Structure 1
Amino acid sequence: MKVLRTPDARFEGLADYPFAPNYVDVDDTEGGALRVHYLDEGPRAAAPVLAMHGEPTWSYLYRHMIPRLTAAGHRVIAPDLVGFGKSDKPAERGDYTYQRHVFWMGELLRKLDPRNITLLCQDWGGLIGLRLWAEMPERFARIVVANTALPTGDQPMGEAFASWRAFSQDVPDFRAGRIVHGGTVSKLTDAEVAAYDAPFPDESYKAGARQFPMLVPDRPDDPASEANRQAWQVIRGLDTPVLTAFGADDRVMAGIDRVFQKLCPGAAGQPHVVLPNAGHFLQEDVGGELAALTIEFIARTA
């Protein structure tokens, strides 16, 4: 497997990102290894919040939330998915599969061995993180579902997703920073746009970002559909507390919060919220509020 690694110089002087890097090697499934980057902030003895990002972001997405969570006494583990951030980036689009992403993040958890996890997941952070919850439910204490889904392909993804997928494949220059900017209500500064572009020095580093939209199961016979159906079978039998927090201005994920509220036993009676003035990247728009909701949720379900 040919692997690219973004030069460290690309990450120097980023706005509001003072965190120390941590790395772990995971099996690339072809006899080699991939270096995965993660943040590990707050007291190591505390139960962790596992903050999982999606497409096309990285742990920078949680920069405003991490200090609030650690100030409340929580540990925060925020990995960069393979192909994103400071993690290694396989160079060929065919190297990226849904199952491999689940395996790679599962390897991270098995090596770090956290317990009593609060999963905070958004976008592909949910498509992967919720599979991990179903695979190893004994590790997870509660789940915060934010602008994400666990699709099986049995229901249409909708026109907004179809438009996004088409754009992601057709746009000549896939500019992560502008994509995040467009998915927020409050909008980003030029420095923040540059920070989201930092992991991708040129188009050759973007194989994962380009491929992710194509990996979302959108038909019943998609390669990942059956695995996601099996995950749902497990999840529907778990009483793990579940809180949904969706952005009111997220057209792609609109209404999917109700799926979790209906199908997850642990969602019953929780104060689910749809946050005004929040788009798809609600960590940017209402990160402080989302952090507060997570802190309150942990305290209420401890």
Structure 2
Amino acid sequence: MRILRTDEARFAGLPDYPFSAHYLDVEPGLRMHYVDEGPAHAAPVVMLHGEPSWSYLYRHMIPLVAEAGHRVLAPDLIGFGKSDKPADVSNYSYDSHMNWLTHWLETLDLTNVTLVCQNWGSLLGLRLAAEHHRRFSRIIVGNGMLPTGDNRVPVVFRLWKAFASHSPWFPIGRIVQLGTERSLSPAEIAAYEAPFPTPDYKAGARAFPALVPTSPNDPASAANREAWRVLEKWRKPFITCFSSGDPITRGGDRYMQRRIPGAFGQPHITLNGGHFLQEDSPRQFARVILDALKAEMAA
């Protein structure tokens, strides 16, 4: 497996991203980057990004949660951000991402975790929480789901999947802008492009759409159904924080609220914004996290 590593110089001076880099080998020769801010002894808040972003997506939320006294960890999934990038689309699978993320979670021995996830961060994070439910205390989902392939996917997703697989031009920054209602600055768009100096580095981003289960016999479907069996008994806090303008995940919040017991009576909210609500409503999203943590302390 040929592994690419983005030059650190490409990340110099990114706007609003002053965080120290932390690294962990998730398998020999394959390095995952993560942000780790706030008191080391505090209960962790894990923020998982999706497609085709990286931990930069959470840059406005990390300081707000860390400054309130919480430990915030935001990994870059393998293939994204400052993490290493296998160069071939075939190097990526749902299970490989799960294995890498599980290794990271267990090596850091994170417990009493508050999971914050969106997009592919939800596809991985919800299953991670189900498979390691003793390590997690609450889940906050924004614009995400855990698909099993048993339900029809929106036409807009099928178009996105085809584009990712076949388009010779895969403009990461512009893709993030299309999913964001506010106008990103040129420097912010460049920051989303920073991990990918050449097309070879984009294999992980291109791979993700094809890994979403879209049929009952998908390779990940059985494991995701098993995760749902755990989530259907989940009584710890489960909060949905979707946005008003996401055509792909719309309605997923109500579906999870009906199906997951821990969602009953929680302060679910719809925020203004597009798919990347971390860009459109970061302070409000951070407030949802802080309120959930404050409720635990008051209980």
Q: State the TM bucket, normalised to the shorter chain.
A: over 0.9
**Within 2, Cα distance between the matches of 1:232 and 1:259?**
12
Q: After TM superposition, list the pairs within 5 Å mapping 1:215-294 onto structure 2.
A: 215-276=211-272, 278-294=273-289
Equivalence for 1:41: 37
Letter in 1 for 2:63: P
**Within 1, Cα distance between the matches of 2:136 and 2:50?**
20
**Within 2, Cα distance between the matches of 1:26 and 1:72?**
30
Equivalence for 2:4: 4
**Within 1, Cα distance between the matches of 2:296 and 2:168?**
47
Letter in 1 for 2:186: D
- Secondary structure of the residue that 1:144 maps to in structure 2? strand
**How far is the alpha carbon of 1:205 from its aligned partner?**
0.4
- Secondary structure of the residue that 1:25 maps to in structure 2? strand
CA contact (8 A) 1:106 1:132 kept: yes
Letter in 2 for 1:120: V
Letter in 2 for 1:154: D
Please tell me whether residue 118 in structure 1 is matched to residue 128 in structure 2: no
Give the 4+ runs in structure 1 shifted more than 3 A.
none
Equivalence for 2:295: 300
**How far is the alpha carbon of 1:79 from its aligned partner?**
0.1
Give me the TM-score of the superposition, normalised by structure 2.
0.98
More displaced, 158-167 or 92-101? 158-167
Equivalence for 1:138: 134
Please tell me whether residue 183 in structure 1 is matched to residue 206 in structure 2: no
Equivalence for 1:15: 15
**How far is the alpha carbon of 1:165 from its aligned partner?**
1.2
- Secondary structure of the residue that 1:69 maps to in structure 2? helix
**How far is the alpha carbon of 1:166 from its aligned partner?**
1.8
CA contact (8 A) 1:241 1:301 kept: no
Q: Deviations over 1:136-155 (max 9, x none)?
A: 10110100010011000000
Q: Deviations over 1:2-33 (max 9, x none)?
A: 10000111111111110000000012xxxx33
Please tell me whether residue 54 in structure 1 is matched to residue 50 in structure 2: yes
**Within 2, Cα distance between the matches of 1:168 and 1:116?**
36
Structure 2 gap ranges (5+): none
**Within 1, Cα distance between the matches of 2:29 and 2:143?**
31
Letter in 1 for 2:185: T
Q: Deviations over 1:212-234 (max 9, x none)?
A: 00000000101001110010011
**How far is the alpha carbon of 1:40 from its aligned partner?**
0.3
**Within 2, Cα distance between the matches of 1:18 and 1:274?**
29
**How far is the alpha carbon of 1:301 from its aligned partner?**
3.1
Q: After TM superposition, list the pairs within 5 Å mapping 1:103-114 onto structure 2.
A: 103-114=99-110
**How far is the alpha carbon of 1:207 from its aligned partner?**
0.5
**How far is the alpha carbon of 1:275 from its aligned partner?**
1.2
**How far is the alpha carbon of 1:187 from its aligned partner?**
2.1
- Secondary structure of the residue that 2:281 maps to in structure 1? helix
Percent sequence identity over matched residues?
A: 54
Equivalence for 2:26: 26
Q: After TM superposition, list the pairs within 5 Å mapping 1:72-87 onto structure 2.
A: 72-87=68-83
CA contact (8 A) 1:4 1:89 kept: yes
Structure 1 gap ranges (5+): none
**Within 1, Cα distance between the matches of 2:139 and 2:237?**
6
Letter in 2 for 1:19: F
- Secondary structure of the residue that 1:38 maps to in structure 2? strand
Give me the TM-score of the superposition, normalised by structure 1.
0.97
CA contact (8 A) 1:153 1:220 kept: yes
RMSD: 0.8
